[in-house]
A = this chain, B = another copy of it.
Amino acid sequence: MTQEETVFQYIKKAIIENRLPPGTRLRELKLAEIFSVKRGLIRKVLTRLTNEKLVDHQQNIGAQVAIPSLKDGQDLFSTRQILEQAVMRILCQKITDIEVRYLQKYLQKEQLAYQQGNHKLSLRWSIDFHKELAKLTGNSVIEEFLIEIINRTPLVILSQLGEDPAHSCVNHEHTEIIEALSRRDSESAVRLMNQHLSHLEKMFSMKPQKATTNLEEVFSE
């Protein structure tokens, strides 16, 4: 992997896993020192992260971890629902038994981590589960867009709730989804996925508004 790719993945992961909360200033020189790379490389990485809407960049001012608005979050969730529904339908058509077992392995890792109290790790597996579903469709465009959406989800949640709510997919819902997939029961799979995402969305929209308030939103009228 190239140096640029390495740094890119590092920062991206840190944002997705909420170690860099929304609004964090990302200074080029500082990052360059931390990763022992030139500033130019950091610049390229920040541009890429900006394209994926994980970072917000303002001319002559700099970059910070993005703070998606409430509406951004709502739009993201409805689009995610549309695409993950479609994923369910596609998978019920074409998934193989081997792939079902492959998915179950993800589930086990997620469960194990949860039982061991490692919620961060559990969350990571849980996110990967959704990404794997997208990949198994075999449709590169769905994969591309859905993975981007999934990556934005933690930021969207954290920008509304102040603290990290250890947001996590409910594991037994993942289990039920896999069961529906293994029966190739398209209707159930879609229904279960919808329920599942509604739960996630509900957590996100119940807002004990965050401590560091989004000033733009407050004074938007």
Contact = CB atoms under 8 A, between A and B. Distances in A.
Contact of A86 (B48, B82, B139): B82
Contacts of A76: 141
Contacts of A72: 140-141
A41 interface: no
Nearest to A73: B141
- Integer count of this chain's copies in the complex: 2
B86 A142 contact: no
A7 to B, nearest CB: 16
A155 to B, nearest CB: 13
Contacts of A139: 75, 78-79
Please indicate which of the listed interface residues A48, A79, A139, A141 has the most CB atoms of chain B within 10 Å of its own CB.
Answer: A141
Given A44-B47, A72-B140, A78-B139, 7 more contacts: A71-B140, A75-B139, A79-B141, A79-B142, A79-B145, A82-B82, A82-B83
